[in-house]
Amino acid sequence: MTAPQADLSGWSVAPFSGGGYTHDVYRKGGGPGVVLIPEIPGIHPGVLALGNHLVDNGFTVAMPSLFGEPGKPKTVGYIASSISRACVAREFAAFATNKQRPVSMFLRALARDLNASTPGKGVGVIGQCFTGGFALAAAVDDAVLAPVLSQPSVPLPLGRARRRDPGLSEAELATVADRCANDGLCAMGLRFSEDSAVPRERFAALKERLGNAFEVIEIDSSPGNVGGFGKMAHSVLTDEVREVDGQPAYEARKRVVEFLTQRLA
């Protein structure tokens, strides 16, 4: 059995401008809004399958195309070229610590726009891999009620400071922590236990700041793990999902949908 995949069928696309940037945004569905930020290398068939799954569960999904070619399947070369471009882009500040990333302003604007056009109390934001931490940065805006950080790998974890860095500035994190303490904001983080791209220290630092408002799902990927995950397991909600009850990544995806439903309905 392989991970779910899909194509661009049924998705509408239009450019959206916010925070000084313009990107195409793919939209589909009805119900409360979820901004689904793609992982490297872009809106690949696994990301589209996740988007369709959210639509099938009653959400309106907006996917910004921040890099890559929408619909194009993953290959080693495609991943490498997307990483190399993204790492040098000022918009993402892949190596910076304590940094407000310019892309966060675009994502907040998109979240506000989606919130204005969908039912519910607010919107969710799912970031993955390179974009995982961007979901939490988006939660500076009151429109965002359910940020989900799936395997957040920026800043790239080179050195102790970057391993603990949450992927947003101290000022942004302070705002999010205040929302958690006083406004009932909750966030979720997902990672595989042996994933060196997503250091355990990063989630520990976020747990220190956000407390019980930060729900952590850590899936065992150590040798001999019950899920059969390899040591390179990384993409919790896409590549590693097998749609079989009890499979840990599948159960994690179920919990994300439950979290979004609880927070947004």
Task: Please choose, from the candidates 154, 158, 135, 159, the residue with its C-alpha nearest in 3D space to the C-alpha of residue 145.
Answer: 135
Give the per-residue pLDDT at 1: 87
Residue 153 within a domain:
yes
Q: Is residue 129 part of a domain?
A: yes
Burial bucket for residue 130 (CB in 10 Å: 0-12, 13-18, 19+) = buried
Please indicate, yes or no, if residue 91 is contained in any of the structural domains.
Answer: yes
**Residue 117 is assigned to a structural domain of this protein:** yes
pLDDT value of residue 164:
93
pLDDT of 24-36, one tens digit each? 999 999 999 999 9
Residue 138: what pLDDT? 97
pLDDT of amino acid 251: 98
Provide the 8-state DSSP code for 27. E
Contact 168, 138 (CB under 8 A): no
Domain membership flag for residue 5: no
The total number of structural domains that make up the chain: 1
Instruction: Determine the structural domain holding residue 186 and report its residue range.
Output: 12-264
DSSP labels for 189-242?
Answer: EEEETT-TTS-HHHHHHHHHHHGGGEEEEEE--STT-TT---TT---TTTTT--
Q: Which residues pair with 33 in a beta bridge?
A: 60
Give me the residues of the chain with pLDDT under 50, please.
none
Query: Does residue 172 fall inside a structural domain?
Result: yes
In CATH, what number is assigned to the domain containing residue 98?
3.40.50.1820
pLDDT of residue 230: 96
- At 156 the pLDDT is 87
38 within 8 A of 121, measured Cβ to Cβ:
no
- Whether 2 is in a domain gets the answer no
How far, in Å, CA of 239 to CA of 252, rounded? 13
Query: Residue 95's pLDDT is what?
Result: 85
**Rounded to whole angstroms, how far apart are CA atoms 227 and 236?**
12
pTM: 0.97
Q: Tell whether 6 is covered by a domain.
A: no
Size of the chain, expressed as the number of residues it contains = 265
